[in-house]
Amino acid sequence: MKIDKAEVIVTSPDRNFITLKLTTDDGLTGLGDATLNGRELSVVAYLTEHVVPLLLGRDAHNIEDTWQFLYRSAYWRRGPVTMAAISAVDVALWDIKAKAAGMPLYQLLGGASRTGLLAYGHASGKSLTEVFDSVNSHLEQGFKAIRVQTGVPGLKSIYGIASNKGLPGNEGVRYDHEPAQRGALPADEDWDTRSYLRHVPTVFEAVRNEFGPELPLLHDGHHRMTPIQAATLGKSLEPYDLFWLEDCTPAENQEALRLVRRHTTTPLAIGEIFNSIWDYQQSIREQLIDYVRSAVTHTGGITHLKKILEFAGQYQIKSGMHGPTDISPVGMAAAMHLGMAIHNFGIQEYMKHGDKTNAVFGQSYSWNNGMLHPGNKPGLGVELNVDEAGKYPYATAYLPYNRLADGTVHDG
């Protein structure tokens, strides 16, 4: 079974998505999500110019060999662009193999280790009232675990806080997607860590009092703290029993987590910007984290993330795969199949895609009573409607960044 055709499809229904579609000589197709939020076209060029010509004529069944060939033959290893491209090829080949086998992908990965995947949603608000409203709306949608992000008094806008006013052109409609905004420049936001450290524990105290001790609560620090600040926050959140504190320090320095770990029992999650097992070497071996945040789409696909999670499992570290709306339904389905099969599944991040995105990507996965299931169609269970995709041309979009009061660019 040879790879006969490889197409890179760019579409921007609710936001930009890059999809690799492989077709074999016997007519099977496979999809891979190659979306790299805010840097999408670099992966398009990498795939089109350097990967597609290498794939044509290769045996679609040899997934491990293709992975090793793309990783090692490039000479330049790792990095988000390379690894997003390899991920897309890898997932598309798993999709094809599972279709050839007539099985949902999780069956090929070892079969179901559970009946469904606990998922968490994103609640947020500028004020406590808005936070409570957002938590309530997530509970009504069936969420059994909720990430809580809050505005900070004195700061105008903060990444991860939904806009209640809506986006330009869609005013009045609450925007619950990650705020990658279309436009020629990234939006700049302001930041003050001391105000944040004072305010966040008061919000979690109020949320615990309002919603009780059972509800798993998560929080994302977006890499903005120094190790000693992160240790302080972890300690001050201990009474509110967080499921995890995510990205507390800039992720590229694994050693920073040693200091955080020495001072707090709040569980730690990290890794959404990682793309290789080497990024986790120290944090897994030294048990500096509790959850691996990598996305299937940015970490070398099913083949490589499965290896990372097996390594993590030896240290009782669980999965917490990245799943905001910039992971397309193709990438989400891949995460769900992997999550079903591994032993050390922890939780899956889940934000519902918009109607336009769902019309472009038909899905067999389901959301039921707080749990996700990838469905039982052969392969990933996602189909790309090329005509719908063609309606939405690429639009430049960037994630926001932030500056301190004196104008210094800060971590984000």
Cβ distance to Co ion smaller for residue 10 or 257: 257
CB of 220 to Co ion, least distance (A): 4
Cβ distance to Co ion smaller for residue 222 or 304: 222
Cβ distance to Co ion smaller for residue 38 or 378: 38
Which residue in the shown chain puts its C-beta closest to Co ion?
220
In the numeric block, the tokens 């001072």 are attached to: 263
Cβ distance to Co ion smaller for residue 246 or 290: 246
CA–CA separation, 360 vs 53, rounded Å? 26
The single-letter code of the amino acid at 315 is Y
Length in residues, the chain:
412
Stretch that binds Co ion, among 15-23, 107-115, 271-279, 373-381 (CB under 5 A): 271-279
CA–CA separation, 32 vs 222, rounded Å? 27
Expressed in angstroms, the distance from the first to the final Cα of the chain is 45
CA–CA separation, 240 vs 215, rounded Å? 10
One DSSP character per residue, 124-179 reads EESSHHHHHHHHHHHHHTT-SSEEEEE--TT-S--TTPPBSS--TTSTTS-B-S--
User: How many residues of this chain bind Co ion (CB under 5 A)?
Assistant: 4
Stretch that binds Co ion, among 79-87, 215-223, 336-344, 388-396 (CB under 5 A): 215-223
Chosen residue from 130, 178, 189, 220 binding Co ion by CB under 5 A: 220
CA–CA separation, 321 vs 305, rounded Å? 10
CB of 27 to Co ion, least distance (A): 40
H-type helices in 4-79, by residue range?
40-45, 52-55, 63-73
Stretch that binds Co ion, among 164-172, 270-278, 303-311, 340-348 (CB under 5 A): 270-278
The reply to whether 159 belongs to the active site is yes
The reply to whether 350 belongs to the active site is no
Of 222, 223, 304, 337, which one is the catalytic site residue? 222
List beta partners, residue 8. Answer: 20
Of 120, 159, 196, 240, which one is the catalytic site residue? 159
Asked whether position 247 contacts Co ion by CB under 5 A, the answer is yes
Stretch that binds Co ion, among 39-47, 163-171, 197-205, 242-250 (CB under 5 A): 242-250
Cβ distance to Co ion smaller for residue 33 or 178: 178
Asked whether position 326 contacts Co ion by CB under 5 A, the answer is no
List beta partners, residue 96. Answer: none
Residue numbers of the site for Co ion (CB under 5 A)?
220, 246-247, 272
What residues act catalytically?
159, 222
